[in-house]
């Protein structure tokens, strides 16, 4: 996710790391919740990437985004 995020950022394309940081990492919750008790939430917070999504997104932009993502494949 981080590699794709940075590649999109360098291309001027806004993507967002969703659910990051995990809520249990916030200072106001650290003493109330243990992040080890929510391993699925932790994994999601480290892996979800939201791509541009809106009605006026041109197909050329979709192709460009896809090309950037494909260039990051391992």
Give me the residue spans of the domains in the chain. Answer: 2-71
Task: For residue 44, give the nearest of 25, 14, 20 by alpha carbon.
Answer: 20
The answer as to CATH 3.40.50.300 being correct for domain 2-71 is: no
Alpha helices in the chain (DSSP H): 2-10, 39-45, 59-71
pLDDT tens for 54-64 read 999 999 999 99
Q: What is the mean pLDDT of residues 5-13?
A: 97
Q: What is the pTM of this model?
A: 0.78
pLDDT tens for 21-56 read 888 888 888 888 887 888 998 888 889 999 999 999
- What is the structure's pLDDT at 49? 95
Higher pLDDT, 21 or 8: 8
């Amino acid at each position: 996710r981080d590699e794709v995020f940075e590649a999109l950022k360098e291309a001027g394309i806004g993507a967002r790391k969703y659910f990051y940081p995990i809520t249990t990492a916030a200072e106001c919750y650290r003493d109330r919740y243990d992040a080890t008790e929510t391993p699925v939430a932790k994994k999601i917070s480290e892996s979800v990437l939201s791509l541009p999504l809106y009605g006026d997104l041109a197909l050329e932009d979709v192709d460009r985004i896809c090309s950037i993502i494909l260039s990051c494949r391992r």
